[in-house]
Structure 1
Amino acid sequence: MRLPRLNRLAPFALAAPLALALAACATRPAEPAAVAAAAPVQWQAPRPHNGTLTDLTQWWQQFNDPLLTQLIDSAQALSPTLASARTRIAQSRATRVSAGATLGPALNGSASVVRGRQDFLSPLGTLAQAGLQASWEIDLFGGSRAARDAAQARLDSAQAGWHEARVSVAAEVASNYLALRACEAQLVQTQADAASRAETARLTELSAKAGFQSPANKALAGASAAQARAQLTAQQAQCDLAVKALVALAGIEEGTLRTQLAPGSATLPQPAQISVAAVPAEALNQRPDLYAAARDLVAASAEVSQSQAQRLPRVSLAGSVGPAHFDAGGITGSGTLWAIGPVAVSLPLFDGGARAANVDAAQARYDEAAATYRGKLRAAVREVEEALVQLHSTAQRGDDARAAAQGFIDSYRATEARYRGGLASLFELEDARRNAVQAQIALIDLQRERVAAWISLYRALGGGWSSTADLQSASAAGASPLSK
Structure 2
Amino acid sequence: MSPMPASAARAAAAPAAWVAPLPAPVAAAEAPAAVPAWWGRFDDPALAALVEQTLAANPGLQQAQARIQQARALAQQAGSARSPDLQLNGLAQTQRLALAEGVPRQRLAQLNLEAGWEIDLFSRVRLGAEAAGARLQVSAFDAQAMRLALAAELARQFIALRACERQTQIAAEDAQAAIRLAAWSADKQAVGLESAAASTLLRAAAAEGQSRQLAQQAECEVQIKALVALSDRPEPALRALLAAGHARLPVLSGGGLSVHALPAQTLAQRPDLAAGEAQLRAAWAERGAAEAGRYPQLRLGGSITLAALQLAGGPRAEGSGWSFGPSLTLPLFDGGARRAEAQAAQARFDEAQAGYRGLVLQAVREVEEALVRLDAAGARSQHAQASAAGYTAAAQASQESWRAGLSGAPELEQLRRQALAAQAALVALQAERLSAWIALYKAAGGGWQADAAAID
Say yes or no: TM over 0.5. yes
Q: Tell me which residue corresponds to 1:267.
A: 248
2:303 — aligned with what?
A: 320
**Pair 1:197-2:178 in alignment:** yes
Letter in 1 for 2:265: E
Residue type of the alignment partner of 2:16:
V
User: In structure 2, which of residues 190, 200, 217 is the aligned counterpart of residue 209 of structure 1?
Assistant: 190
1:17 paired residue number: none
Amino acid at match of 1:407: G
Residue 336 of structure 1 is matched in structure 2 by 320
| Structure 1 CA distance for aligned equivalents of residues 333 and 319 of structure 2 | 44
Q: Cα distance, 1:64 vs. partner?
A: 2.6
**Measured at CA, do residues 357 and 44 of structure 1 come closer, stay the same or move farther in structure 2, by a change above 3 Å?**
same
The alignment status of 1:105 with 2:84, answered yes or no, reads yes
- Seen in structure 2, the aligned counterparts of structure 1 residues 421 and 145 have a Cα distance that, compared at 3 Å, is same
Secondary structure, counterpart of 2:320 in structure 1: strand
Deviation at 1:115, TM superposition (A): 4.2
Cα distance per residue 1:361-411 (max 9 Å; x no partner): 111111111111101101111111111111211111111111111111111
Cα deviation 1:244-291 (Å, max 9, x = unaligned)? 111222222222222222221111111231111121111111111111
Q: Supply the AA of the counterpart residue of 1:77.
A: A
Q: Mean Cα displacement is larger for which, 55-64 or 391-400? A: 55-64
Matched, 1:258 2:239: yes
Q: Name 2:356's counterpart in structure 1.
A: 373
1:226 to 196, 207, 215: 207
Q: Deviations over 1:314-335 (max 9, x none)?
A: 2223221132223346333334
CA contact (8 A) 1:179 1:448 kept: yes
**2:453 corresponds to which residue?**
471
Cα deviation, residue 102, structure 1: 1.1
Q: Which amino acid aligns with 2:324?
A: I
Residues 124 and 189 (structure 1 numbering): CA distance in 2 closer, same or farther, change over 3 Å? closer
- In 2: Cα distance, 1:252 partner to 1:115 partner: 65
Q: Is 1:152 the equivalent of 2:133?
A: yes
TM-score of the pair, normalised by structure 2: 0.92
Which letter maps to 1:46?
A: P
For 1:74 and 1:117, the matched residues in 2 are separated by 69
Change (3 A) 1:101 1:57: farther
Structure 1 residue 40 corresponds to structure 2 residue 15: yes
1:301 aligned residue: 284
Cα deviation 1:157-190 (Å, max 9, x = unaligned) = 1111111111111111111111111111111111
Structure 1 contact 76–82 (Cα < 8 Å) conserved: yes
Which of 207, 219, 224 aligns to 1:238? It is 219
CA contact (8 A) 2:374 2:433 kept: yes
Partner of 1:359: 342
Partner of 1:65: 44
| CA–CA distance in structure 2, aligned partners of residues 125 and 397 of structure 1 | 97
| Residue pair 1:56, 1:458 contacting (<8 A) in 2 also | no
Instruction: Name 1:389's counterpart in structure 2.
Output: 372
Count of paired positions? 444
Query: Is 1:74 aligned with 2:53?
Result: yes
Following superposition, the deviation at residue 122 of structure 1 comes to 9.6
Contact 2:128 2:285 in 1 (8 A): yes
**Equivalent residue letter for 1:214:** S
Pick the aligned partner of 1:169 from 135, 150, 163: 150
Letter in 1 for 2:252: P
Query: 1:125 Cα deviation (Å)?
Result: 3.9
**Equivalent in 68, 71, 87 of residue 66 of structure 2:** 87
How far 1:350 moved relative to its partner?
2.1
In structure 2, the CA distance between the partners of 1:93 and 1:57, relative to structure 1 (3 Å rule), is farther
1:31 touches 1:305 (CA, 8 Å); kept in 2? no
Q: Deviations over 1:29-51 (max 9, x none)?
A: x6666633322211111111265
CA 1:279 to 1:53, structure 2 compared with 1: closer, same or farther past 3 Å? farther
SS at 2:304 equivalent: strand
Once residues 144 and 268 of structure 2 are traced to their aligned partners in structure 1, the CA distance between those partners, rounded to angstroms, is 14
TM-score of the aligned structures, taking structure 1 as reference length = 0.87
* Partner of residue 281 from structure 1, selected from 251, 256, 264: 264
- Are the equivalent residues in 2 in contact too, given 1:313–1:345 (CA < 8 A)? yes
How much does 1:226 deviate? 1.5
CA shift in 2, pair 1:196/1:323, >3 Å: same
3-state SS of paired residue (1:274): coil
Q: Deviations over 1:173-227 (max 9, x none)?
A: 1111111111111111111111111111222223333333222112211221121
Aligned partner of 2:413 in structure 1 is 430
Does the residue aligned with 2:18 lie in a helix, a strand or coil? Answer: coil
Aligned AA (1:405):
A
1:124 is displaced (CA, Å) by 5.4
Flag structure 1 segments of 5+ consecutive residues without an equivalent.
Answer: 1-27, 476-484
- Give distance in 2, aligned partners of 1:321 and 1:154: 38
2: distance between equivalents of 1:57 and 1:218? 56
Aligned partner letter, 1:336: S
Q: Distance in 2 between matches of 1:122 and 1:107?
A: 38
Report the residue type matching 1:412 in the other structure.
A
Query: Kindly, what percent of the aligned residue pairs are identical?
Result: 42
C-alpha displacement of 1:57? 5.0
1:398 corresponding residue in structure 2: 381
Distance in 1 separating the partners of 2:149 and 2:128: 31
Q: Secondary structure at the match of 2:447?
A: coil
- Aligned-partner Cα distance in 2 for 1:287–1:124: 72
CA distance in 1 between counterparts of 2:156 and 2:9 reads 35
Could you tell me whether the CA contact under 8 Å between 1:135 and 1:317 is conserved in 2?
yes
Contact 1:164 1:289 (8 Å CA) reproduced: yes
Partner AA of 2:271 in structure 1: P
CA 1:36/1:259 → structure 2, altered by over 3 Å: closer, same or farther? closer
